[in-house]
Structure 1
Amino acid sequence: MEHRAAIGRHTALPWKHCIHLTVLLVQLSLPEVAASCRILRCNSDFVAATLDLGSSSSSSGGGGGGGGAALTREAVNAGYCSALRSYAMCTKRMARACRGDLAYHSAVQGIEDLLIQHRCPRAGPTAQPRPLPQGTLLGDACLYERSFSIREGRTPEYLHCGVFGDPHIRTFNNDFQTCAVQGAWPLVDNEYLYIQATSSPTRGGTHATALTKITIIFKNWRQCVDQQLYQAELDNVPAAFADGSVSSGERRGHHSLTVRTQSPGRHAEIRAAHIGTLLVVRQSGRSLGLSVRSPRGIVEAFGPEQDLQLCVWGCPAAQRLNTLRPPPPDFSSTTSAQAHCAELLPARDVYYQACVFDLITSGDLNSSVAAVNALQDATNMISDAQRVHLQPVASAEQGRARLDLMLLLLLLGMLGTLTGA
């Protein structure tokens, strides 16, 4: 009996390790490509929900007879079925954002095969989702960085998002996109923070748009801060919150929120100590810009209903423009724009591309300042200097193609393993 139990422990659900390996290799290959389609989050949630199932079967299967081992295998299989149903629900929520994404469709097919293979009922309990990282504010609750360092013994991992110009977006995942969006769009929407940007057509151009309004809501959080509102509009970037205050949430001699400026009416720097977040709002030429530096635990504290965040997933695929191919008025204007931006920017990176694009579409030399300021903010907010200058868009697209091919090969290998098992 003991031998049979051991065999059950080693042969039950061999696909678990294949999925773990597939997800790990994909995430390590090109982590910067996770944009509007959050399939990697579904993958990682599934892995997290199944990590302990193998150890539970090992720890409880060796002491009893064959019936005990069979019950253990049944319990483990029920746990995997619950995780698979949750995995399937997650992919259904991603259906619209992941339309046409190879990784998404491969995951959907893989889930379907696994549900059939392990005879999982379509209806039944689902695995509990991972809790949002609200516990990171325990201890010295209103000083996120200090609390995190004491608890983890290290500084938090910070992510950066920048939005500027026509508008261009550098997401928290280091994707770079130019959007044709007009109207109000959420940039960030999580448990602590909501940021909305409004983009409007510029005068004199049929293609050019610009950020004309930025709204930031700091949500009520425990004893640290009551809900606070900040709003900036073109030609009016106040160094104060909407209620006229420059600080909020005083506790133990510290303020959770503070606002200061280096250029009244055109610049504001907001520090949110309770979430370890820095925001810079500025006017560059005839557009507003926003730069955000926030810990990963804060950025990822959102639920499935908060499914539209330009700083997290970028702009919708149908709203993306190619900065390598702006609408050219004539050759001399393009050459002039390239020369002007080359004088202002140190590298032919995405900020240079954005500068040229804005000059050509707007015809306004002052529009180049937006890319210069965005690059300066990125330099100040990103600790690793090697990660400041992003590769051109074409290179990123080639990288995505390589990732799709790698993922396809990995999934085919995984399905081959399942068939052989």
Structure 2
Amino acid sequence: MANRFILNETSYFGAGARENAVTEVKARGLKKILFVTDKVLLDCGVATKVTQCLEEGGVAFEIYSEIKANPTVKNVQDGVAKYKECGADGLIAVGGGSVMDTAKAISIIIANPEFADVVSLEGVADTKNKGVPLIALPTTSGTAAEVTINYVITDEVHKKKMVCVDPHDIPVVAIVDSELMMGMPKGLCASTGMDALTHAIEGYITPGAWELSDMVELRAIELIHESLYNSVNGDPKARETMALAQYIAGMGFSNVGLGIVHSMAHPLGAFYDTPHGVANALLLPYVLEYNAESPAKPKYRAIAKAMGVEGTEKMTEDEAVKAAIDAVRALSLSIDIPQKLGEIGVKEEDLQDLSVAAFNDVCTGGNPRPTSPEEILEIYKKAF
């Protein structure tokens, strides 16, 4: 069996890298851009840092910013309509995962109009054409949507987060400019950073992992451990490191899959509009405890070492497992991540329905330990 690894055609990294958006637009012969962002980023001036580059470079564009924190089917369909109405031939997305996921779905539907209902894109959709050109600039250091072949859209009618997996949706260009991330408030920096750690750890222990993905995921874990606390507390160098770390984590998990931390986090977003990073961060230690009883158990030693734990080579396997989980929980606590579902408004009477939705999530197949709705329910109860 061959291992596949898909990345962007081109990626740029570093402070000020956003200026390359103009170069890429012109090099690809694009005449008009639909600029996808959200109202908060427009109001605080982050998106303006990119639109200013486009204006100075003579690039024509129109803005679409009607996007919720957990983007919906309607957000995507409205974006498709805006793209057609303004005569665009390419997209630039400036934002977190919600913005980039919306732009990915727009890109796919423009090139594959038979999926205009959006809901038919759930899972691994049989699209025929590569999405229209998309240049993605992340403003948070966590989701890595700029380098993945995944996106998530909320079906509000059925209270469901649809995970869509499609090699045709990956942005042609990723521009990781840490200056666009400097304005993140502490809470967002913390939750998106823990989202990146979840990506790296789940990507490392999934059954689909192999040497190349292991290499990048372990490095991502190391960088996140070294820089997340300082990044949350506003250190510019640490934010630049986190910008790179979250991209590296995305390189891996996009190609090998995730597990039930994400499966369990997705319904929380659909039911309660819980920010994805918060849900992942809260659930990660509980799922790590559950997954310790799996073929991935020996890998916990390397996770502990990457998390800065000393003396891992002398530990028993069980001691290494505990050390890894304790290190993850300690980092989470140090940046004020909620530790119980009740703290973020989850209702105990919903846990059964959440468990069924999580079990049916596309990420469940990538978990290192086979599971069931009943076992997922027990994890939710423990986290409650």
TM-score by length of 2: 0.31
Q: Greater Rg, structure 1 or structure 2?
A: 1
The structure with the greater share of residues assigned to helix is 2
The structure with the greater share of residues assigned to strand is 1
